[in-house]
A and B are shown apart, each in its own frame.
Chain A
Amino acid sequence: MLQLKQLMHKSLLAILGSAAIAASSIAVADSALLDIAKAKSDQCVADTKEMRANHMEKILHQRDKTLREGIRTKQHSLKECINCHVEKNSAARFGDNKHFCSSCHNFAAVTIDCFQCHADRPDSDKKHSLNTSSFPHYADNSAEGVSK
């Protein structure tokens, strides 16, 4: 019984240890990634955690709505992602580590084909207006007074 307890104790330590190593490696990766690409605005359509986990769901849903039904809301459109996250005439193109999308996708080794067809840089350097009635891009944050 004692042996079993010791064994459990050891394995628990091992698990905790490996978790700590994993957490530290994530932290390193995180800070490295955060340095790379900045958005033009401080606010995204959802918080960073949500966007990192689910951005693909949002733009996949939007793509069918836009192409097949002609619904052209901007909140989850890929065009608006690029408008905000990439500078006009940016030297970093998709594939470069400094391009917003590829900075993460290169790291995670997830191949995407969005930019075989879509523009990887915005057409203009105009930043869209925030929190207008016709453009509820940041509706969730309206109470915070995000407009800058």
Chain B
Amino acid sequence: MIEKTINFSRRSFVGKTATAAAGISIAPGVFLHQVANAKPADQAATSEVRWGMLINTNKCATGCTACVSACNEENGIQSNDRPESDPQWIRKVKLRDTQTGHVTSLPMMCQHCENPPCVDVCPTGASMKREDGIVLVDKHICIGCRYCMMACPYKARSFVHETITDQKDYAPRGKGTVESCTMCVHRVDDGGTPACVEACNAAEHGAMIFGDLKDPQSEISKELEKHGGKQIRADLRLNTGVRYQGI
């Protein structure tokens, strides 16, 4: 059952209408289209784009943890050798079908929901969703109550139990706050790709695609249109920004 409830942007709608009405095209089939590159630093993120990820579990190698180590390296997440309380933004999950014995391996992280339960339950407004769909924790006002951790169906958030020093200057992290995957927002704002996606490509698995779900010409939208993609716990109607193939 494939559920695709991504809303196309106003821009693409206007673009299509204008093209149909006035025939604004360079050549047949070739249209002027603005590619979502790095936005200027002084401009706010807009709802013209919605960042998302598509993960092909058939390409995701069992035992490979390139995405996890890339995430830890990028965001300065270090283990205190206490796995019960170590922060974790992305983890590998192995599923085994008991009937066929088929093993599926996939990375699990914040699904960047359109209707995020973590935002609903936050008593301070620290848990928030940016205009472009990236769900973040505003650690300036997070009180560490951990309601969001309880609310998240994907177990995507971590509480920082121990003092952290020598953080990356683009990824502030501190004791007493909740944190989770930021979709490498510092890279995205700079026109880049999240570290996990980059690492997956570098490991030549190519199981992760990052892109704008609202841009019908983006690689991720084309792939979703062609082969579809599932939401995990689609029944919750969260409209996740991270979609999976092969599950």
Contact = CB atoms under 8 A, between A and B. Distances in A.
Interface of A: 63-65, 67-74, 79, 82-83, 93, 116-119, 121-123
B157 interface: no
Interface in B97-127: none
Interface string B37-66: 001011111000000000000000000000
B136 interface: yes
Contacts of A123: 168-169
A72 B44 CA distance: 9
Interface of B: 39, 41-45, 128, 130-132, 136, 138-140, 163-170, 172-177, 185, 189-190
A118 B176 CA distance: 14
Contacts, number: 59
A120 to B, nearest CB: 8
A70 B177 contact: no
B43 A71 contact: yes
Nearest to B163: A116
Given A63-B140, A73-B42, A68 B169 contact: no
Contact of B130 (A70, A73, A82): A70
Nearest to B170: A79
B139 A72 contact: no
A44 B48 CA distance: 36
B45 to A, nearest CB: 4
Contact of A119 (B166, B189, B190): B166
B112 to A, nearest CB: 14
Contact of A70 (B132, B140, B169, B170): B132
